[in-house]
Amino acid sequence: MGSVSHKSDAAIVLGIESSCDETAVALVTADRRILAQRIASQEAEHAPYGGVVPEIAARAHAQRLAPMLEAVMDDAGLTLDQVDAIAATAGPGLIGGVMVGLVSGKALAMAADKPLIAVNHLEGHALSPRLADPALEFPYLLLLVSGGHCQILGVEGVGQYRRLATTIDDALGEAFDKTAKILGLGYPGGPAVERLAREGDSKAVPLPRPLKGSKEPHFSFAGLKSAVLRAHESGEHKPADIAASFQQAAIDCLIDRLRLALDQAGTFPALVVAGGVAANQSVRGALEELAQANAMRFVAPPLALCTDNAAMIAWAGCERLAHDADFAGDPLDLKARPRWPLDPEAETVRGAGVKA
């Protein structure tokens, strides 16, 4: 197994992401420079099915990854010899896609004699705000909201995550996507719902706020999604009003659950949001207000770092190298993991999603 040749503050890490419907490769330095990155979305392939089809995703990753790896090295004008480690998403996610990325990472690590860093995709999201913001220090309270997960985590340090809340059914991104499908807005739904919501009245449609006020630190969005379907089928509401009311109901749930987490876990210096839904401006606005009211800093990464990308995977690799000076790489026989909780001590709740 190769060792890390550069000091960890000058390390260059190649990142590979393939856990859902984005194939992505990036080169990131430990001093927070993104030297090159490419990302190919599979939106067009999955759009006819209204959601991600695992088999199609795996095949598309397999076709795109090798040329993309070459292109990113070219973009940065680097050879593999100049890279210090290879970081690849090893889960959680759609297993076929994860295997494609992980096996490519292993092959590169072996061929170039560099350490492999098997990255938890959720850890990529969780640490991504630190790539964009050097001033963000541990600990922070993280709302991780993506297509497969909706969690509140106390991020205490690299590899130290305390899960304070999770969803008992749908993830929030999934609820956005389903709302978009019901309203005929296509896939992916989050950005489309956000756009339509701008033209609607968020008070027009009475919708539930599942688990609001509950002392159990969980999320639930299945009932909200069903209510959206009923509101749409009633024919009494404009789609823009439904979109705006849905978005507001979802935000009310987020804020209520975050308040509970703060009550239960105590305060943190910063409130941080990550994951695809963190791209939503109304969500960001509401979180910023909550942070201000609690004298916390609010940190949200730039939009391109919110949705799935490889820079966050490479960055998680940089964090691992910096955190553990003796790290010699993960074993090359390590397996891809469809499920991989960030906090292994947290109890399993029914329905918690597999993709991130």
Residue 303 CB neighbour total at 10 angstroms: 14
Distance CA 23, CA 104 (A): 12
Q: Sketch the per residue contact string, 108 through 147, with ligand KG4: x for CB under 6 A, - otherwise.
A: --------------------------------------xx
* Residue 149 Cβ vs Zn ion, minimum distance, rounded to whole Å: 8
Site string for ligand KG4, 298-337 (x = CB under 6 A): ---------xx-----------------------------
Q: SS3 of 346, please?
A: coil
Query: What is the C-alpha to C-alpha distance for residues 251 and 254, in angstroms, rounded to an integer?
Result: 5
Residue 166 contacts which entry, ligand KG4, Zn ion, none (Cβ below 5-8 A, type-dependent):
none
Q: Which does 278 bind (CB under 5 to 8 A by kind): ligand KG4, Zn ion, none?
A: none
Q: CA nearest 117: which of 40, 20, 30, 21?
A: 30
Contacts of 296 (CB under 8 A, 6+ apart): 141, 267, 268, 269, 270, 271
Say if CB 73 and CB 79 are below 8 A apart.
yes
Question: Among candidates 321, 326, 266, 320, which has minimal Cα distance to 296?
Answer: 266
* Interactions with ligand KG4, residue window 170-189 (CB under 6 A): 173-174, 176-177, 188-189
279: contact with ligand KG4 by CB under 6 A: yes
- Would you give the binding string for Zn ion spanning residues 327-356, x where CB under 5 A is met? -----------------------------x
Task: Please compute Rg for the chain using Cα positions.
Answer: 20
Residue 101: closest CA among 116, 90, 113: 90
Q: Which is nearer to ligand KG4, 104 or 307 (CB)?
A: 307
Member of 51, 139, 191, 338 binding ligand KG4 (CB under 6 A): 191
Among 308, 309, 310, 342, binds Zn ion (CB under 5 A): 308
Q: Nearest CA to 4 among 325, 330, 323, 331? A: 325
Residue whose CB is less far from ligand KG4, 4 or 52: 52
| Interface residues toward ligand KG4, by CB under 6 A | 20, 146-148, 173-174, 176-177, 188-191, 194, 275-277, 279-280, 307-308, 355-356
| Interface residues toward Zn ion, by CB under 5 A | 146, 308, 356
